[in-house]
Structure 1
Amino acid sequence: MKFFFASDLHGDLAAVKAMAAAFVKERAERLFLLGDLLYHGPRNDIPSGYDPRGVIAVLSELKAHISAVRGNCDAEVDQMVLPFPIMADYAVLPLGEHVAYLTHGHLFDGAVPAEILPGDILIEGHTHVAGISTVKGDITCLNPGSVSMPKGGTPACYMVYDSETATFTVCRLADGSTFCTYTV
């Protein structure tokens, strides 16, 4: 089974179309969106491909596969126009012997939520910086980066979890090549 993770779409239609194509190409069963879906926010420039209505149309076609959490740029009005829930602050995803805690990341601002236990995995976006790190020695933090506004010198990315290999792979959106990996 494969799970696909993406974050920080910020209403960029070209990026969302590329993400949707990558989701299909990866043959993932679920698409987990980690927030900031339609609006660019006051701290970011308007993306060149900014088209929230177009993004709604693309995401609506994938609604049967989507689970989402709320980002700091998501609002109740966004929920009104999207055909899947987006207002949860977090989601819990069992992964074999491990548990993944999915959130946007803005509510914890670099801290690890108290609910996360040793050996668990924190998957969050918000920073727009793709990468893998370990905190407190035994909690793995994974960030798929941003499909539309990457920061920190990282490319636009998404992440795939493959249950057969128990591996998370952060991939470049442009060509699907590997940016970094983590095996549970």
Structure 2
Amino acid sequence: MEVKILMKLMFASDIHGSAYYCEKMLEAYEKEKAERLVLLGDILYHGPRNDLPCQYDPKRVIKMLNALKNEIYAVRGNCEAEVDQMVLDFPVMADYCLLLEGSAAVYATHGHIYNENHLPPLKENDALIHGHTHVFKAEYRPGSEQNPGYFLLNPGSVALPKENNIPTYGILDKGIFMIKGFDGERAAEIKLRRTE
């Protein structure tokens, strides 16, 4: 089975109100020529456990993202609140976004509810992509009696990476998921295809 997404998608997570990194993310989006930007939550607020990110300016982030409102799919992170939806011109309060092509699914969520320890409904060779941990990941998880085999993807954090990682985003194009840094570094890559 192969995941075939017809569009080139960019995935980004955990901007946390950083105007500096939001601008870098949007520059990468334009450079990548992706057709949609999928935001995996924690867009405006830095959160009580995080330090203030570089150029913390949620109002500027709002303005930059609202300009692309018709190109953004977004899910709710643990830092989103109803007030965020009041200022953003695209939906941000859904717990997940399901991208389908044929019988394959890419389940996009923030990661604070559904993650590798609490899986959403997945079939064999589907993909779960989430942020939340601020640590990038691209791997295949073999199935067990309780769960099917699936792809576990995390684009890392745009503004507040952890574990000495660089700020990163993900690109899904022609069945390949790549994690990249803003200076063109390739941090990880995986082909979303399993042959039995």
Count of matched residue positions in the alignment of Structure 1 and Structure 2: 181
CA RMSD after TM alignment: 1.3
Indicate the SS of the match to 1:121. strand
User: 1:22 touches 1:176 (CA, 8 Å); kept in 2?
Assistant: no
Q: Is contact 1:9-1:148 (8 Å) kept?
A: yes
Question: Aligned residue for 1:56?
Answer: 62
The answer to whether structure 1 residue 172 and structure 2 residue 178 are counterparts is no
Is the Cα contact below 8 Å between 1:79 and 1:87 reproduced in 2?
yes
**What is the alpha-carbon distance in structure 2 between the residues aligned to residue 109 and residue 143 of structure 1?**
10
Who is 2:123 aligned against? 117
Equivalent residue number for residue 161 of structure 1: 172
Pairing 1:139-154 to 2, within 5 Å after superposition: 139-154=150-165
SS of the residue aligned with 2:63?
A: helix
Q: Structure 1: any 5+ residue segments left out of the alignment?
A: none
Deviation at 1:48, TM superposition (A): 2.6
Give the structure-1-normalised TM-score: 0.94
3-state SS in 1 of match to 2:15: coil
Contact 1:167 1:181 in 2 (8 A): yes
1:82-139 Cα shifts (integer Å, max 9, x gaps)? 0000000001001455210000000135424241122110000000001113334321
C-alpha separation in 2, matches of 1:4 and 1:70: 17
Note the residue ranges of structure 2 that are not aligned, 5 or more in a row: 1-6, 144-148
Relative distance call for 1:17 and 1:88 in structure 2 (3 A) is same
Deviation readout 1:56-93 (Å, 9 max, x if unpaired): 01101111100000000010000000000000000100
Letter in 1 for 2:169: Y
